[in-house]
Each structure stands twice: as structure tokens, then as C-alpha cells.
Structure 1
């Protein structure tokens, strides 16, 4: 066996050790949405469309706070690489307190502004009513969701992706059971319909957050790290997360604009929104699958740069990009092959099923691009290069937004072609340009 082969095998083992559990956990996470869509879809098309609008709003609010996971992973991994495990856990605890503060504020504001947020989509009265009902209940799960993000970031930074996997699987199973019970009822106990789905998800999120917190708190106590809130550390965590918030805001804005473009060009708003909801849910599902390598990239990049090894950082990055391309090809082929069948899992409406097939084919063709984009995004997040990601996200959004609104009149497929190739293609150019340089290779804790 050559020296190069040995090095690649070692790199692959390290990537797979982190990526495989992350892959399984990330597959389980969007199952919250997929199971909700499957259960709610059989209530009716207006309910499914309402879930689609509520889901976009809630995912935007929570998605803006994804820095609680990403930034914490990078910071904790750097300290771990520098040999300071106690400091790594102390930094993680500060992230947990920040999650609580943001979560409480987001919950109060979210419930108070649910009406205007849903009304902005200008959907039919029935869809608007369902979306408002679901969203007001779902906002109660904001703080648990943010705690889940922060605690998962701590564990990933400590190179532990197995614990989040166990919690994600158990939480998803609980979510499905609670949704079925609360939506449809059992025996003499009547179901709550759509509100039952929201309530079931909130209860499952509370249980999952409690499990992750238990593991992190136990580790902090073992290392002697303080569990009290430290204002300076919380402020530092917040400041470091600002560029990632901007980066995430541009991504969420692109998804919101895409959904608005669908409503703008829709012939039948219920059918087009329901179809788009299913397509974006499946896209998110596959994005999380591809993001497993990006999670490994964040943890490995942070640890290697924390230890000062730039040469190995670049070598592992090249290998992870190869994994990203290969994974994208596989997910694309699977999605294309399953496109005629997937609609039957989520809805009985033949119009939605027929409209879904060409959209999924477009999404399938873009999977290899997505694979590279997610990997390089993870590498730069792990390197702490949030400022560049924020600037790149703004440029991408400025290019994409006017185009997708212009093509909205061409229908749902035209909107998805613009999203899959213009938006993702622009992200690819921005990330490859940065990865080829050296500015992101900053070492130290």
C-alpha cells in the first residue's frame, strides 16, 4: 500500500467516524417535517398548504439561530485541538445560555406576530387559518429547538456525533407517535387535527432538548467547567455568531423569496404551495443528508486549525470535497428514480402528485452541486470564516432574488430551475473561490 493510499484511508476513517452518525442524525431530524407532512397531508390539501407556510416561517426563525450549533462546533473544536477540554466545555455552556435568551425572546415575538407573518404570504383564507393555528402552537417549541442546536454543537465540537444521533432517533420516534395520537386520536379519545401535529412536535422537542442538556451538563461537571451564566462569554458567543446569522439570513431569505415566487406565479395556490412544500421538504431532507460531511468538516477543520496543522486541513478538505461530489451523485440518482412514487407517500391529491414529479427531477440534477456547496460551507464555518460567508451570501442573494421573481410567471418548475442552478451555482462559485486561497487558514484556539 502506498503512502498516499494510507493517508487517504486514515482521512476516510476520520471523516466517516464523524459523518456516519451525523448522517443518520441528520436524516432523523428532517423526519420531524416529513412525518408531519405525511400525517397532515391526509387531513387535506389546505391543511398541508398551511403546514407549508407555517413550516417556512418556523424554519426561518430557528434557521437564523443555526450559528448556535455551527459556531459552537467550530469554537469548541478549536479549543479541543489546542488541548483545552475544560475551556471547550465552558464555551459550550455559554452557548447554551445564549440559546435560552434568544429562545425566550423569539417565542414571545413569534406568537405576537403570527398573524402578520402568515398574512404576508397572501394565501387563501382556509390555508391562512390553518397556518396561523399551527404556527402559534409550534412557536412554543422555539427554546427547546435552540437548546438542541447549541447542545448538539458542543458535542460535535467534542468530536461526538453519536449522542446527537441517539437523541434524534428517539425524538423522531416520539414525534411520530405523539402526532398520530394527537392528530387522529385513539379509541374514544378524539383527535385534534392540525393543532395536534403542532403540539406533538413541541412535546417531542422538549424531551430531546432535555436529553442533550443532560449529557453536556454531565460532561461540564466532570471537567470542572462552571454551569453559571457568564455575561462576557455569552456576549462573545453572540458577537461571533453575527456573521453566521447574516449568512443564514441570506439563505432563509432565498427560500422565502422562492416560496413567494411560487405564490406569485401560481394558477392554483393550494396545489402549487402544497407541491412546493413537499418538494422543499424533500430538498431539506437531502440537504441534511449531504450536510453530514459538512458536519464532519466543521469538527475536523476546527480541531486541525486549533492544533496549527494547515497542511492536513487542506488535504482533508480536498478529500471531503470528493466525498461531497460522490454523495450528491448518489442522492440525485435516488431522487430522480423515486420522483414518480414519492408523492403517494404524502398526499392523495392527483394534481399535487403530478406537479411534484418534474420539480423533483430538477432537484435531483442539482444534487452534485449541492454536495460540494455543503462541504465547503462546513469547512469555512469550521475555520471561523463567518465574515466571508456573510459577504458571499449577500452577493448570492442579490444575484438570485430578481431573477427568480422574473421567472415566477413561468410556473413552479421555472422557479425550481432558478433555485437549483442559479442560486446553488452562485454559492458554488463563491465557496470554491475562497477555498482555493489561504485567508481562511487561521490557526490557534
Structure 2
């Protein structure tokens, strides 16, 4: 037990088992959707190149929308964790109820806007009219899952805030299991099911999303908290979301710019960049699970007015994340002559992979620090700082180097130098912020004052 730094009741020591108990199920939730998408691609891929291309374009459009709305999970975790740490469970869950109302409202806007814009956006991204037509046929059905996806994000958010990452994993797996059964049946007409081809994939996705969303809604109802919309709380969540959306847009600008510049260096450069980028996405997925644990635990500690415990926890999770990332770096370093060959046998592509590989390995331990402290600061509700730091790192570090790389024909070396500088700048920013202690403001009402002012 540790003494509460504000003179309250002692706070329990956070053990490594507790951190892993939150991180491992969170990793399962993060990994489940990408793994199902690989299965979906394999099923649709048997229809031929055109449906697969349509799935790629349609999936990209829907993914870009949902990526910008992750504040429904990360922002809700921060706010719910504060109340959980202050032993105000009903208030923590009510944050989830208001986030769910917000998810439904935003999801309906996405559904309507998506139906109106599906054709022009698909034509813009798909180029070829046949590919665009396939993408639109998939997207028009898949968009009905947008509100359901966002409800799942809100549910993940409040459950992480009350330090329950096991139920979200069960709910997500239940939905994806149904999708995995229906997908081959509806795409290929197996076991007497109708053969809907590409549209069958979208129907299977929405069916699974219905199951997951229903489970999250049922869990919320069973908590017995007030479910009526509270505009004061929703408004506060939107203000936090604004900062997180701006931060997410900075990430998207960097990675889309990298892909655009890589394409100017030829097909081998694009392919090599894509191979390393997918491996990078795998690494960030694992590191993000520790960041989620840090977010929930730090938010709760600050809500319990345990500033000292929150600070100690911040550095402990950071050390864990850095060591884990360093181990991953050693694994990828040892496998540099084997791992790329699992993705391609083309010698030109492998040469390009080799150029980016050293940057990818070298920056991994740095990323371990960045992801952990991102989670700490998100748990503290310090989203405005993270927004500014990310935008500044992109504008001052990444974007100048990426366009200089294009102008001077630096190839993937220039692109990955830009990505490396972007991550190093972010590390400097979050380490300085954590050392300053300005993020560690205690009390449940620091980020959620609107709740109490509205009668909560």
C-alpha cells in the first residue's frame, strides 16, 4: 500500500500482474479486428481481383472515418477512470452512457453522409469505375455498421475506465465469430445461404457488429445508471474529442504523405514501404495495449487524489514498455534476413525493405517510451498537450523531411528518417511534460466538472 499524496486513504500498490491483466485483454481487442479483416480478405479474394479491390477501397473509407473517432474509447476511458478512482462507480458508468448517446448520434451522421458521398469518394480513391462500383456496393451496406462500431468504442471506453478489459474482449470476439461464420456462407453461397458475393461480406460484418453493440448496450443497462442524454456531459466529451481528433489527423497526414512520396519512387519502393509499415503497425498494436493499461490506472490514481502513485506508475509502465520494445527490436534485428522474405520474394522490394529496416528497428525502443507516456497523459486528460505536441512534431519534424526527401530523391531512407524524427520529437515532448508534473492534477472533477454542475 502507498500513502495517498493528498492525505486521503491509502491506494493499493499496482503490481505487474495487474498491469498485464489489463493490457493482455486490451491487446486481444486491438488485434481481433485486424485478424478478422485478414480472414475477410481471404474469403473475398477467392472471388477475384475486382471484388478484392472494391473491398480494399470500401474498407479504407470506413476505416478512415472510424480512426478519427477513437476519442469515443480513449476519451471515455480517461473520464470514467477518474470517477472509478474516486470510488464513484455510477458516475464512471454514466460517462459510458453519455458516450454511447454520442456514438449513436455521430454514427447516424456518418451513415447518412456516407450514403450521400459514397460514389464520389469511391471514384476519387478507386480511379477505375469498375473498382469504384464494387466499393460502393460494399460500402452502402457496411455503413449501417458505423453506429454499431462507435457504440462498441464507447463501451470499450467506459469498461477500460472501470478497469474491466475482459468483458470487451468477450463481446468483440462474439461479434467477430458470427461474422466469421456468415462471411464465407454469404459471399460464396455455402450451406444453402444466398450467394451475395462482395455484398455478403458487408452483411456479415454488420451482423457481427449488431451482436457486439447489443452486448455493450445490455451491459450498460444492467448497471442501472441513468440513461437519459445529458448534454453537459456530452459537450465536455466533445471538447476532449476535438483535441484527440486533431491529434489523429496529424498521424494520418504523416502516414498518407509517406505513402504518397513512396509512390513517386516506384513500385518497389511502395511495396517495400508497405511491408515495413505493416510490421510497424503490428508493433504499435502491442505497445498500445500497455498504453491502455497506463491510461486506466493513471486516471484512477489521479481520481483517487494519489499524485505520487500516478507518477510512480507512469514511469513504471514506461520502463516496461521500453524494455518490451527493445526486446521486439532485437527480435526484428535478428530476423532481418528472414522476416521480409515471408512477405515477398522480389529482390528489388527486398532491397527497399532493407533500407527502411534499420530505421524501423532503431526507433522501436523510442516508440516504447512514447506510447507509454501517451497513455499516461491520456489517462490524465492531458489531450490538449498531446494534440499540440503531435501537430508540432509533424509540422517541424516529419513533413519538412518527407518533402525534402521527394525533392532530393532520398527514397525510403528519407521517408523513414522523417518518421524517426517525428517519433523522437514526440518522445522529447512527452518526457518533458511528464517530468514537469503539470499533467498530474488530482481529483475526479478535473476533467468532468460538467457532470457535477449538471446535478450528477
Please tell me the TM-score bracket, short chain as reference. 0.7 to 0.9
Number of the residue aligned with 2:304: 307
Number of the residue aligned with 2:103: 99
Alpha-carbon contact 2:175-2:209 (below 8 Å) kept? yes
Number of the residue aligned with 1:179: 183
Number of the residue aligned with 1:433: 432
Number of the residue aligned with 2:7: none
Range with bigger deviation, 113-122 or 70-79: 113-122
The structure 2 residue matched to 1:214, chosen from 218, 228, 231, is 218
CA distance in 2, matches of 1:351, 1:129: 35
Number of the residue aligned with 1:254: 254
User: Normalising to structure 1: TM-score of the pair?
Assistant: 0.84
- Structure with the larger RCO, 1 or 2 (CA within 8 Å, 6+ apart): 1
Structure 2 stretches lacking a partner, 5+ long: 1-10, 445-456
Measure how far apart 1:78 and its partner are. Answer: 0.4
Q: Secondary structure of 2:229's match?
A: coil
CA distance in 1, matches of 2:22, 2:204: 30
Correspondences of 1:390-405 after superposition (within 5 Å): 390-399=387-396, 400-405=398-403
Q: 1:15 and 2:19 equivalent?
A: yes
Number of the residue aligned with 2:421: 422
CA distance in 2, matches of 1:419, 1:199: 40
Cα pair distance change 1:87/1:189, threshold 3 Å: closer
Cα pair distance change 1:175/1:103, threshold 3 Å: same
The structure 1 residue matched to 2:152, chosen from 140, 148, 158, is 148
Cα pair distance change 1:116/1:213, threshold 3 Å: same
Range with bigger deviation, 34-43 or 305-314: 34-43
Number of the residue aligned with 1:233: 233
Number of the residue aligned with 2:295: 298
Q: Secondary structure of 2:163's match?
A: coil
Measure how far apart 1:307 and its partner are. Answer: 0.9
Measure how far apart 1:242 and its partner are. Answer: 1.7
Cα pair distance change 1:176/1:243, threshold 3 Å: same
Measure how far apart 1:139 and its partner are. Answer: 2.3
Cα pair distance change 1:295/1:57, threshold 3 Å: same
Number of the residue aligned with 1:329: 326
Number of the residue aligned with 2:94: 90
Cα pair distance change 1:248/1:193, threshold 3 Å: same
CA distance in 1, matches of 2:422, 2:385: 17
Measure how far apart 1:66 and its partner are. Answer: 0.8
Aligned length: 428
Higher gyration radius (CA): 2
Measure how far apart 1:214 and its partner are. Answer: 1.4
User: Normalising to structure 2: TM-score of the pair?
Assistant: 0.82
Number of the residue aligned with 1:369: 366
Structure 1 stretches lacking a partner, 5+ long: 1-6
Alpha-carbon contact 2:401-2:414 (below 8 Å) kept? no
